[in-house]
Amino acid sequence: MNELDKTDRKILEILQKNARITNKELSSQLGLSPPPTLERVKKLESSGYITGYIAVLDPKKVDLGAVMMVSVTLHQHSEEAIEAFHRAIENLTEVMECYHLTGDDDFILKVVCKDIQQYERFVREKLARLNTLGKIKSSVVLSTVKMVREYPISER
């Protein structure tokens, strides 16, 4: 798939807001009939624009009230050390996001836990035990000012 037209971009905007909209309703919002609408959606999926459809939960409701941002520095920076760190992070369910950064710190992690006690256990029993790990700096998230999952779709 090469270039998105206006209709494709509108589909992405609508589905980013509501993934469970029916094809019929989607088509009516586009001013199209259902068959071409469905075909466009399928094409956006198969060409990798849409990677999935997910339910969004309220973390507090599922007992994940503590959010932390954690700056991590490795104690060495060989290819293998970084690879090993990546693989370790992959297996830690508490880590929702992890970015490799330029600057003083190597990585920043977003970690969710039930409470601060569980976070402490996570650090002591899991994070601090990674042998590539240098030092960490934890910051408590006092409030989530913004957390949008919708990418702005540019005109081209």
Positions that interact with a second copy (CB under 8 A): 4, 12, 15-20, 47-59, 61-64, 67, 69, 85-86, 89-90, 93-103, 105, 107-108, 112, 114, 137, 139-154, 156
3-class DSSP state of 58: coil
- 36 with 3: CB under 8 angstroms? no
Which residues lie below 8 Å from residue 54, measured CB to CB, with a gap of 6+? 19
The nearest distance, CB 79 to a second copy, in angstroms, is 13
The nearest distance, CB 152 to DNA, in angstroms, is 23
Cβ neighbours of 32 (radius 10 Å): 16
Between residues 31 and 58, which has the closer beta carbon with respect to a second copy? 58
> Token pair for residue 50?
């849409």
The nearest distance, CB 56 to a second copy, in angstroms, is 5
The nearest distance, CB 14 to DNA, in angstroms, is 13
The nearest distance, CB 123 to a second copy, in angstroms, is 15
The listed partner (a second copy, DNA, none) that binds 48, CB under 5 to 8 Å by sort, is a second copy
- 55 with 23: CB under 8 angstroms? no
Between residues 28 and 139, which has the closer beta carbon with respect to a second copy? 139
Q: Which of residues 4-43 bind DNA (CB under 7 A)?
A: 5, 7, 22-25, 32-36, 38-40
- 50 with 12: CB under 8 angstroms? yes
The listed partner (a second copy, DNA, none) that binds 148, CB under 5 to 8 Å by sort, is a second copy
Which of these, 156, 106, 114, 96, lies nearest to 133 by C-alpha position? Answer: 106
Which of these, 88, 84, 67, lies nearest to 138 by C-alpha position? Answer: 67
> Token pair for residue 91?
């297996």
Which residues here bind DNA, judged by CB under 7 A? 5, 7, 22-25, 32-36, 38-40
